[in-house]
Amino acid sequence: MSKIIKLHRRATKRAVALPTPKPNRPSRSDAEDAVRTLIRWAGDDPDREGLRGTPARAVRAYEEWFAGYDEDPRDYLKRTFEEVAGYDEIVLLRDIRFESYCEHHLAPIIGRAHIGYLPHTRVVGISKLARLVDVYAKRLQIQERMTAEIAGCINSVLKPLGVAVVLEATHQCMTTRGVHKSGVTMVTSRMLGVFRSRPETRQEFLAALNMRERIGSIAN
Query: Which amino acids are annotated catalytic?
Result: 102-105, 143, 171, 173
What is the nearest approach in angstroms of Zn ion to the Cβ of residue 24?
A: 25
Of 1-9, 42-50, 75-83, 96-104, which segment contacts Zn ion by CB under 5 A? 96-104
51 binds Zn ion per the rule CB under 5 A? no
Of 39-47, 103-111, 159-167, 205-213, which segment contacts Zn ion by CB under 5 A? 103-111
Q: Where are the beta strands (DSSP E) in the chain?
A: 80-81, 91-102, 108-118, 123-124, 140-141, 162-171, 186-193
- Angstrom distance (rounded) from CA 78 to CA 73: 10
DSSP for 87-101 reads: --S-EEEEEEEEEEE
9, 78, 97, 104: residue in contact with Zn ion (rule CB under 5 A): 104
- Angstrom distance (rounded) from CA 13 to CA 9: 6
Residue nearest to Zn ion (CB): 173
- Angstrom distance (rounded) from CA 113 to CA 168: 7
What is the nearest approach in angstroms of Zn ion to the Cβ of residue 182?
A: 15
- Closest among 111, 109, 108, 107 to 96, alpha carbons compared: 111
β 108-118/162-171 pair status: antiparallel
What mask, x for binding Zn ion by CB under 5 A, covers residues 118 to 157? Answer: ----------------------------------------
Report residue 36: phi and psi, to 5°. -55, -40
187 binds Zn ion per the rule CB under 5 A? no
What is the nearest approach in angstroms of Zn ion to the Cβ of residue 142?
A: 8
Mark out the alpha helices in 18-142 (DSSP H runs): 28-42, 54-65, 126-137
- Closest among 148, 13, 151 to 77, alpha carbons compared: 151
Tell me whether residue 79 or residue 104 sits nearer to Zn ion (CB atom). Answer: 104
105 binds Zn ion per the rule CB under 5 A? yes
What is the nearest approach in angstroms of Zn ion to the Cβ of residue 143?
A: 10
102 binds Zn ion per the rule CB under 5 A? yes
Of 15-23, 30-38, 70-78, 105-113, which segment contacts Zn ion by CB under 5 A? 105-113
Binding site residues, Zn ion, CB under 5 A? 102, 104-105, 173
